[in-house]
Each structure stands twice: as C-alpha cells, then as structure tokens.
C-alpha cells in the first residue's frame, strides 16, 4: 500500500523578487566540478551550497562540507530566504523542455509530496538500478547534518486515466507561485495546492499503486537508512513520524512529456586493443556492418548513426562502436538466439536489455573486462547525447564509445516488477528533476497526517 501525504515544504521566498533561475540547480550527481563553481558564483543563496558543498583544505569532523551545508540551511531559514508553508501542501510542477530528438518541446507534469518509506522487499516502491555504498554514505552524512531532504526522488506511477493530474489541475490557480526559465532552456512552473479534498483524491488513487524509482536510487536508500537511525533514537511510536517519509517527485508513466535517453559508454583506454582481433571475437554473436567516417563534423554524421541504431534496434539489439583510430564506425546487430546463450545467472527479462548484451557479450567476452571493472568510474564514463559522445572520441578524450538505443519503459516496468536490478546507468530519464523548488525539513517530533 502506497501512502502519500502533503507537507509544509520549505521554499525560496516567492515574494522576495529573487530570480529563482539563479537559485536552483540540477541534481548533485550530474554536476561537474566546473559547473559546481559556476553555480557558486551565480548567487550566494544557490542551492548548490546545500547539495554539493566545496571540499576545503583543513576539513575536519566538525568543519566540513556537510556541517557548512547545515549552517547555510539554518542561516537561510532564520533570514527568511527559505520560508515554511503555513499549511500542508502538494506541489504541482510543469517542466517544458527540448527532448533533443528533433521533435517539438514537451511538457512533463509532476507532483511533489511525501511518500512513506518502504522496506526493501515490500513490492511497493520498486528500484531498478544498482547502488553503491560510497554515494549512500555521502548523502547520509548530509542528511544527518542537516535533518532535511534537499532533493526529490523521481518516481513513476501508472494512471492511464490521469485521475491524479486532472484532480491537481482542477485544484490549481491559473497563475503559478513559481515561473522561470532555466539556463538550459527549460521552463519551470509550480503551484502550491492546499486543498484537503484534493489530498484525499490523490491518496486514495495512489494507495493501490506501485512507484517505480526513475532517478535517485541512492537517495531513496539513504532515506531508509536515515529513518532507521532516527527510529533507534526517537522510536517508532507514535506512527507517521516525519522521518518515516521521503520527499518524491511523482510523474505518470503515461505522461507524454516523459523522455528516456540512452547512456552511451565511453572508455578512456583499452590496453593492446586491435580492432580486427576484437571484431573476430564478437562476430559469432553479432552481424557486423562498418561505415567509413565521413569528413563531415561529428554533429552531422552521428545523426546518421543514431538513425541506423534506431532502425536496427526495432528488430534486434543494436550497438554502435566508434574508435578514434579506425577511420570507421560500426553497427553490431545481435544474431538470432545469441542473447539466449548468455549465462544462466541472467534472468530472461534482463537478457532483453541492450546494456546487458553490451556488458556480457562485448565488454566482458570481447574486451576482457571483469564485472568489477564495469562499475569503475575511472574506466567507464557515460554520456546521453550521441553527438557529444562521438565528439569526445574524435577529439581524443576517449579511445572509443559504445552507442546504444534507450531502454524501453516497458522493460523498466518488467524488471522492477520482478524485483530485478539493472546494471548502473541503464536508463536516463530526461530531464532530471531540478533541485531547489521545495525542501523537506525533518522534525523528528512532527507527525505527518496521511489522508
């Protein structure tokens, strides 16, 4: 059973006249070091100071990026830079963006609310990707220092009749409390909804649904770990304490604004790589087609490769390869029955995934990487845009790129519903949920009212 609840969120002061586009940021885990510095310079109250603080020389257990984030947080509250909602709310958001597919702009709707944290095997909130301890340790230190959730978990639910979104739209005013254009060209709007009748409709409709985690697996597991720590300290009674819930951004799987991008694999260097030897190793499993790299810019010919990948991928698993010294790019099409020959430790649902085929039949069998290597950020890098991936190989920043079609939503649902886990970076739900619209401050003595 899924429990959804409104909450008194902390937001930037809507009436202060501040430019909200300079206060928000993407999720912490997609921000590069250069981008971090840029957000620091954009505004002294940018959310970056809370979600991704600077490391400093001389950091200690009592003075570090986590304690400094907590200090900023308390200071911004006391100065009324951040203000509490007077009533519990559900926050309705719209994000209009360029999907990067050559199609018109799309608008994705979502609502921000509290969701009860579930046990790992409950079958209510379903992850689909592998997580790593280092990332969870980092986020837990931040939560324990600040006692707040600064970023929403991105969750998906099924609602073919759009009952929840229609109810939210009926309850909203014409003018949003927040409206701004972000620097990436996206348009963001948000409405604070405080109607108890709406809360009942949303809660009743969601109660029998499952939530699929689209993004924020590490942060969700961190919230469960934090909850367990707080339960040890403050107890489990009375029920519905604030730390039993996590802030989520929830979007309908059938929303026309939902976009999934691929995660192409970039490799810095493969020792003793010889293209002929490599192709010989994989030809038992793949039909291999090669194309000369034209003299056009990567921007032009990568679009052709993207189209070939998409067309071939409708019939079989299709994987592209571009190597910076070959003068060609390659298209691998999985031979009939080859995927079924993969090791018996792989569930049939996982064998449908292009990223599993790439991992097992190309990266491990063809290039000799171990399973541990596949999770090593120093070896593998990820890029969702095929043009950028090709350009980075062409420039010599990387030796090669393996290029993929995006994972289909029905495969995500099938795998999560079977309690299976995909390899990391199997999906890229685009765009990421922007950070800084709403913050959930956790008071261990507060009782959340579930409709």
Positive/negative CA dihedral, 423, 424, 430, 432 = positive
Q: What DSSP state is assigned to residue 119? A: -
In this structure, what are the phi and psi dihedrals at residue 160, rounded to the nearest 5 degrees?
-60, -30
The pTM for the full model equals 0.90
**What pLDDT, in 10s, does the model give residues 373-422?**
888 888 899 999 899 999 999 888 999 999 999 988 888 888 877 877 78
Domain ranges of the chain: 4-259+431-441, 263-405
pLDDT at 101: 67
CA atoms within 13 A on the CB side of 371: 4
The three-point CA angle 31-412-203 to 5° equals 85
Distance CA(444)–CA(396), nearest Å, equals: 52
Report residues of the chain scoring pLDDT below 50: none
Cα 50 to Cα 58, 68, 229, 359, 417: the distances in Å are 19, 8, 21, 36, 34
Give the number of other CB atoms < 10 A from CB of residue 362: 21
Contact 251, 156 (CB under 8 A): yes
Show the tokens assigned to 349. 């649902």
**What pLDDT, in 10s, does the model give residues 19-31?**
999 999 999 988 9
pLDDT at 296: 67
Q: Report how many helices (DSSP H) and strands (DSSP E) the chain contains, helices first.
A: 12, 21
pLDDT at 43: 95
Distance CA(429)–CA(28), nearest Å, equals: 15
């Amino acid at each position: 059973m899924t429990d959804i609840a409104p909450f008194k969120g902390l937001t930037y002061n809507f009436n202060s006249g501040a430019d909200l586009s300079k206060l928000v940021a993407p999720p912490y885990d997609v921000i590069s070091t250069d981008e971090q510095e840029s957000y620091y310079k954009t505004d002294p109250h940018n959310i970056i100071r809370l979600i991704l603080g600077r490391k400093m020389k001389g950091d200690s257990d009592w003075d570090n990026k986590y304690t400094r984030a907590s200090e900023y947080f308390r200071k911004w509250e006391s100065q009324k830079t951040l203000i509490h909602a007077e009533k519990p709310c559900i926050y309705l958001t719209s994000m209009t963006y360029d999907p990067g597919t050559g199609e018109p702009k799309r608008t994705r709707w979502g609502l921000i609310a509290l969701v009860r944290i579930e046990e790992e095997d409950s079958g209510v909130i379903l992850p689909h990707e592998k997580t790593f301890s280092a990332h969870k340790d980092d986020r837990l230190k931040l939560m324990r220092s600040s006692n707040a959730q600064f970023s929403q978990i991105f969750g998906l639910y099924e609602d073919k009749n759009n009952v929840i979104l229609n109810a939210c739209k009926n309850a909203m005013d014409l003018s949003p409390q927040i409206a701004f254009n972000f620097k990436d060209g996206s348009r963001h709007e948000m409405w604070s909804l405080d109607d108890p009748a709406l809360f009942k409709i949303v809660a009743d409709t969601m109660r029998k649904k499952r939530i699929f985690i689209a993004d924020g697996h590490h942060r969700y597991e961190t919230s469960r770990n934090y909850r367990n720590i707080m339960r040890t300290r403050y107890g489990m009674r009375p029920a519905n304490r604030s730390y039993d819930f996590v802030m989520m951004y929830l979007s309908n799987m059938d929303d026309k604004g939902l976009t999934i991008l691929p995660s192409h694999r970039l490799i810095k260097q493969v020792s003793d790589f010889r293209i002929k030897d490599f192709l010989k190793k994989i030809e038992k499993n793949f039909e291999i087609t090669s194309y000369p790299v034209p003299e056009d810019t990567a921007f032009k010919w990568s679009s052709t490769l993207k189209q070939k990948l998409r067309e071939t991928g409708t019939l079989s698993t299709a994987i592209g390869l571009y190597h910076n010294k070959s003068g060609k790019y390659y298209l691998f099409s999985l031979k009939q029955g080859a995927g079924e020959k993969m090791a018996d430790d792989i569930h049939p649902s996982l064998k449908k995934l292009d990223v599993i085929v790439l991992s097992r039949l190309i990266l491990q069998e063809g290039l000799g990487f171990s399973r541990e290597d596949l999770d090593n950020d120093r070896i593998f890098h990820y890029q969702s845009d095929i043009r950028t991936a090709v350009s980075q190989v062409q420039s010599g920043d990387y030796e090669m790129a393996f290029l993929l079609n995006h994972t289909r939503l029905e495969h995500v649902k099938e795998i999560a519903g079977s309690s299976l886990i995909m390899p990391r970076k199997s999906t890229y739900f685009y765009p990421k949920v922007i950070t800084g619209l709403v913050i959930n401050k956790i008071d261990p003595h507060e009782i959340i009212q579930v409709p």
